[in-house]
Every structure is written in structure tokens, then in C-alpha cells.
Amino acid sequence: MIRLYADAVFSGDTFSPRLAERITGLTFSTQNEPGEIGLIGRYKGLPRPYGMAILKAPFDSGTMTTSQMPEEWIANALTQHIKDIRSCGATEIHVNITVAWKDQCNFGFNEEFLSKVGRLGVHVSVSCYEDSLNETESAL
């Protein structure tokens, strides 16, 4: 494994990312309020029918300064704030883990992470792509 990245995506017909940020103190890397005019994608020039936000772990496995992995940071943030995020209209919550690898892709999750996301009742997906260290560093 070269690097592991993690984020959570929140969405819902009435989900307000601005309200969720204000209530939780979290900062979303991307956000759209329901009804905002889309700038790209299938809703370009049209009102978005739902709110959406992305919460990225503030580090990846190559830049972390503690023993906490990015997916653990996301799980901890969700454990602390999921009720408030849902109260802001989020009906869909997805945790995404992306693994950049070279030669062979082996990784695992500890029991604490698996228990936390299981209790949260969120969808978890893992995406892997082959990369070299130079390509990963230039993408950051």
C-alpha cells in the first residue's frame, strides 16, 4: 500500500451542509445546498434537488502525525456528530476509503473501526487503484 484516503459523503432532499457545519463545527471540503444552481454535472444550470457534502479526513496515511488512520478519524467524527448531521436532513451517509497501491494491495481494518461503522449504520466502500509513489505525491 502506498496511501490510504478516507471521506464521508452526506446527502438528502432537505440536507443543509451549512447548518451541519454550524452545529457540528466540522468543515466540509465540498457542499451544495438544496435548490442551489449546479455548476457542473447533470444539474449544471439547474436547481439541485438535494443537499450534499463531503467530509475528508484532514490527512492521509502518508501525512498522518498520529497512529490514527484516516478511516478511524472519519469514524470518530461520525460517532460524535452523526445525530446532528442526520437532524440537518442527511438521509444517505457513505464512508469511502481509497487505497493507492503498488505491486500488491494488502490492507485491513481493526475491530474498533469495524464496530464503529457497524453501529453507525452507514455504507462503506473501498476503492483501490494501482499507483506509484511519484504519481501519488504529485496528485496531492
Which cell is 22 given? Answer: 454550524
Between strands 92-101 and 123-130, the pairing is parallel
- Note the pLDDT tens digit of each residue in 46-79: 999 999 999 999 887 777 777 788 999 999 999 9
Q: What's the total number of domains in the chain?
A: 1
pTM: 0.87
| Range(s) of the domain holding residue 58 | 3-139
Closest CA to 3 of 75, 56, 64: 64
> Rounded to whole angstroms, how far apart are CA atoms 80 and 68?
16
Residue type, 46: L
- Note the pLDDT tens digit of each residue in 110-134: 899 999 999 999 999 999 988 865 5
Question: What is the 3 state secondary structure string of 90-125?
Answer: CCEEEEEEEEEECCCCCCCCCHHHHHHHHHHCCEEE
